């Protein structure tokens, strides 16, 4: 049997998917970039809206709306990632030695992951209602009842100083359990012998975590950071659901793209925005994919 | 041992569902640490658990109230009179889209799992030149922000809809979710086959003169059930929960339940009992899947949750 003949059927079996991915992922990305380089003119005033070519990019990058959205995205991403990693790791540490009713705790921490961002957004819009004092509902009223009225605040809405940080709360709520599950699997993958050995050497519990367990979890932490980071950059549903379709206060590039496309009727700017978003995600993900690919090949 | 796969998939994730992945192997539960440390641990676990359950409490309690009873000062109280009116109204609004989402979830999950199984088999055990590169190009498709394809995708699907009238709503979404589900399904199946199917087994089949399709049908497919469960659940959940594609590609009349829920919740005079009941209705199927098949669900998460 010739070599070519032996692998050809494999290629044929994958070919439908190769065609679909080539057309729908890479073809459409190419087309989107093409749209983003177009010139466009306002049909009513005849004024040039997008000069075309790379100038479309400098125009969007320089616009105040876009910079505002980028800043929001940065705040959202930092708070979301720090919060999710913190609670995820904390819950995993609390659970990893085994507690009675562990299954129940695990399920409780993880259930938000099964709910859609849209559904979660509806509840959190109510929980994060900005009214304070007598008119307060949601978390503000709860804080009030718990005797902590000084913690009441207007969350993400117009006059809030840390709106995007508040917007990250529901996202932390949804994904901390996921990070917990990842770390928990990591802890359980480390054999008990290693702890025993460290204990015999006189290491304290903290030292065991610090020098024996945590270092072995760093590949998991890296993967979690990549996954959370790229989710945050794409986050659309949650913000759309909580703040409404065209909120300026809570706008990030992903929601601004919707505004550009439908409220401002500017497809070219929307395409520019989407292309930059892709580039940002690619900067994070591509090195990771190449690195993973390399370690995979070495392992084979 | 955890690997550095796309997601930290403990090797054979997807196969060995969490009951094994997460199982505790040390001392019996609850025995470790001093009494004080244990008390602190349980207290913290309970407090965090209550916080995570807050939204669920609000949803259930509010959904059973009468519209008039939802006032600011009783927002957190239990209902004084329980009524199913909110649920009834939510059901009347959401029943058709719920059915559409069910068709969407089952259709997209089935199709992308079948494609993923075939691809996974080839990438794990029947490789062709440049297979690793092609696989990496597939994986990138799972990370892209869908905004980056949305504008041309919308135009392309609309032009097909112009020619083929039935090509709309859920049909469009099934196609789109199937295609964009290929990368993750391929990854899950590839990781599964790489650990669950010994190379020697295929070698033996090859010596017996079995071709690729015969090998796939008679050796691979019968072993694939665990991975199918994971991808089916995973794809069903992500198609069910998707909103972005629904918003760009469907309408109020033919969209899935996330679209309808957003409409229900977005009105001028919000009727909180029916909105909260609507959230529960729209979340019940995925929550049920999660409660009944949780260990597989987590298996899917482990092998790369990226939506």
pLDDT in tens, B14-23: 333 444 455 5
**Chain A residues with CB-CB distance to B44 below 8 A:** 94
**Chain A residues with CB-CB distance to B180 below 8 A:** 24-25
Nearest chain B CA: its distance from A161 CA (Å): 24
pLDDT beyond 60 at A4: no
CA atoms within 13 Å, Cβ hemisphere of B184: 33
Residue of B nearest to A104 (CA): B49
Per-residue pLDDT tens listing for chain B (307 residues):
232 233 333 333 333 344 445 555 555 554 556 788 888 999 999 999 999 999 999 899 989 988 777 776 777 778 887 888 889 999 999 999 999 999 999 999 999 999 999 999 999 988 888 998 999 999 999 999 999 999 999 999 999 988 988 888 999 999 999 999 999 999 999 988 988 888 888 888 888 888 888 889 988 999 998 899 989 988 999 999 999 999 999 998 999 999 999 999 887 778 889 999 999 999 999 999 888 887 776 666 665 433 3
Q: What residues does A48 pair with on adjacent strands?
A: A41
Q: Give ipTM to 2 decimals.
A: 0.89
**Chain A residues with CB-CB distance to B137 below 8 A:** 21, 26
**Chain B residues with CB-CB distance to A237 below 8 A:** 243-244, 258
Domain assignments of chain B as residue spans, ordered by start: 86-302
Residue B8 is predicted with a pLDDT of 33
- Residue in the structure block whose two tokens are 């929001």: A72
**Are B144 and A278 within 8 A, CB to CB?**
yes
pLDDT band at A32 (very low <50, low <70, confident <90, very high): very high
Q: Angle of helix A64-96 relative to helix A102-110, nearest 10 degrees?
A: 170
pLDDT in tens, B95-116: 999 999 999 999 999 999 999 9
In A40-187, the DSSP E strands lie at 40-41, 48-50
Tokens of B199: 């190379």
Domain assignments of chain A as residue spans, ordered by start: 41-299
**Are B55 and A127 within 8 A, CB to CB?**
yes
**Are A97 and B42 within 8 A, CB to CB?**
no
Using CA atoms, how far residue A63 sits from A34, A60, A247, A269, B213, in Å, is 21, 5, 17, 11, 56
Q: What residues does A50 pair with on adjacent strands?
A: A40
Specify the DSSP class assigned to residue B268.
S
Using CA atoms, how far residue A149 sits from A134, A140, A142, B52, in Å, is 11, 8, 9, 21
pLDDT in tens, A168-211: 999 999 999 999 988 988 888 888 888 888 888 888 888 888 88
pLDDT band at A109 (very low <50, low <70, confident <90, very high): very high
Element (H, E) at B298: helix B294-302
Q: Cα-flanking dihedrals φ and ψ of residue B258, to 5°?
A: -65, -40
Give CA angle at A244 (A80, A145), nearest 5°. Answer: 65
**Are B258 and A295 within 8 A, CB to CB?**
no
Residue A158 is predicted with a pLDDT of 66
Residue A291 is predicted with a pLDDT of 81
Contacts of A160 (CB under 8 A, 6+ apart): A130, A153, A154, A166, A249
**Chain A residues with CB-CB distance to B48 below 8 A:** 87, 90-91, 109
Please tell us whether the domain made up of B86-302 is placed in CATH 1.10.3720.10: yes
Which of A24, A116, A236 lies closest to B241 in CB terms? Answer: A116
Give CA angle at A242 (A241, A246), nearest 5°. Answer: 75
pLDDT beyond 90 at A94: yes
Nearest chain B CA: its distance from A188 CA (Å): 6
Burial B70-80 (b: 16+ CB within 10 A, else e): beeeebbeebe
Residue A132 is predicted with a pLDDT of 72
How far is it, in rounded angstroms, from Cα B157 to Cα B172? 7
Mean pLDDT, residues A228-248:
90
**Are B6 and A223 within 8 A, CB to CB?**
yes
Q: Cα-flanking dihedrals φ and ψ of residue A153, to 5°?
A: -160, 175
Using CA atoms, how far residue B116 sits from A213, B156, B237, in Å, is 35, 25, 16
Residue B306 is predicted with a pLDDT of 35
Tokens of B15: 């196969």
The CATH label, of 3.50.30.10, 1.10.3720.10, 3.30.70.100, 1.25.60.10, for the domain at A41-299 is 1.10.3720.10
How far is it, in rounded angstroms, from Cα B177 to Cα B104? 9
Tokens of B2: 């955890």
Which of A25, A195, A231 lies closest to B144 in CB terms? Answer: A25
- Residue in the structure block whose two tokens are 């980056």: B148
Nearest chain B CA: its distance from A44 CA (Å): 23
Q: Angle of helix A117-127 relative to helix B272-292, nearest 10 degrees?
A: 130
* Mean pLDDT score of chain A: 87
**Are B115 and A189 within 8 A, CB to CB?**
no
Residue of B nearest to A284 (CA): B143
**Chain A residues with CB-CB distance to B59 below 8 A:** 123
Mean pLDDT, residues A91-108:
89
Residue of B nearest to A127 (CA): B55
Residue of A nearest to B181 (CA): A21
Which of A16, A96, A114 lies closest to B290 in CB terms? Answer: A114
pLDDT in tens, B180-236: 999 999 999 998 898 888 888 888 888 888 888 888 998 899 999 889 998 998 899
Residue B20 is predicted with a pLDDT of 47
How far is it, in rounded angstroms, from Cα A279 to Cα B200? 43
């Amino acid at each position: 049997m010739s070599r070519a003949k032996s692998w050809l059927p494999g290629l044929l079996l994958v070919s439908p998917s190769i065609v679909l991915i080539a057309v729908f992922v890479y073809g459409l990305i190419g087309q989107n970039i093409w749209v983003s380089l177009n010139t466009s003119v306002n049909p009513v005033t005849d004024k040039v809206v997008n000069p075309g070519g790379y100038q479309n990019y400098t125009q969007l990058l320089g616009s105040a709306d876009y910079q505002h959205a980028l800043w929001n995205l940065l705040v959202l991403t930092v708070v979301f990632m720090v919060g999710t990693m913190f609670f995820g790791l904390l819950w995993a540490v609390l659970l990893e030695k085994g507690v009675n009713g562990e299954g129940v705790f695990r399920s409780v921490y993880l259930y938000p992951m099964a709910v859609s961002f849209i559904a979660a957004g509806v509840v959190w819009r109510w929980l994060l209602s900005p009214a304070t004092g007598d008119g307060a509902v949601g978390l503000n009223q709860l804080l009030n009842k718990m005797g902590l009225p000084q913690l009441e605040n207007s969350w993400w809405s117009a006059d809030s100083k840390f709106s995007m940080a508040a917007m990250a709360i529901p996202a932390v709520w949804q994904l901390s359990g996921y990070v917990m599950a990842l770390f928990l699997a990591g802890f359980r993958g480390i054999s008990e012998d290693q702890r025993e050995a460290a204990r015999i050497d006189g290491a304290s519990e903290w030292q065991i975590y610090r020098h024996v367990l945590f270092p072995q979890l760093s590949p998991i932490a890296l993967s979690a950071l990549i996954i959370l980071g790229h989710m945050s950059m794409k986050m659309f549903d949650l913000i759309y659901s909580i703040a409404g379709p065209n909120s300026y206060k809570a706008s990030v590039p992903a929601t601004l793209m919707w505004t550009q496309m439908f409220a401002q009727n500017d497809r070219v700017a929307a395409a520019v925005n989407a292309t930059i978003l892709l580039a940002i995600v690619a900067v994070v993900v591509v090195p990771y994919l190449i690195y993973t690919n390399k370690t995979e090949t070495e392992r084979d | 041992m955890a690997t550095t796969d796309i997601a930290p998939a403990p090797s054979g994730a997807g196969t060995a569902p969490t009951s094994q992945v997460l199982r505790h192997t040390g001392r019996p539960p609850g025995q470790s640490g001093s009494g004080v440390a244990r008390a602190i641990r349980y207290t913290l676990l309970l407090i965090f658990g209550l916080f995570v359950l807050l939204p669920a409490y609000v949803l259930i309690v509010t959904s059973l109230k009468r519209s008039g009873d939802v006032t600011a000062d009783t927002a957190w109280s239990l209902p004084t009179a329980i009524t199913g009116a909110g649920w009834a109204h939510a059901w009347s609004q959401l029943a058709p889209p719920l059915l559409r989402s069910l068709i969407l979830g089952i259709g997209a999950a089935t199709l992308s799992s079948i494609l993923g199984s075939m691809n996974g088999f080839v990438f794990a055990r029947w490789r062709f030149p440049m297979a690793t590169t092609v696989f990496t190009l597939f994986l990138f498709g799972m990370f892209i922000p869908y905004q980056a394809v949305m504008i041309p995708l919308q135009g392309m699907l609309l032009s097909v809809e112009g020619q083929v009238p039935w090509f709309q709503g859920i049909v469009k979404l099934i196609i789109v979710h199937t295609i964009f589900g290929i990368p993750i399904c391929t990854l899950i199946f590839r990781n599964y086959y790489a650990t669950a199917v010994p190379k020697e087994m295929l070698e033996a089949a090859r010596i017996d003169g079995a071709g690729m399709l015969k090998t796939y049908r008679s050796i691979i497919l019968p072993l694939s059930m665990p991975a199918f469960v994971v991808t089916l659940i995973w794809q069903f959940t992500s198609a069910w929960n998707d909103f972005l594609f629904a918003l760009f590609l469907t309408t109020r009349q033919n969209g899935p339940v996330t679209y309808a829920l957003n409409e229900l919740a977005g009105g001028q005079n919000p009727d909180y009992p029916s909105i909260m009941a609507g959230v529960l209705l729209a979340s019940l199927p995925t929550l049920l899947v999660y409660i009944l098949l949780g260990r597989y669900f987590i298996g899917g998460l482990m092998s790369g949750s990226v939506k």
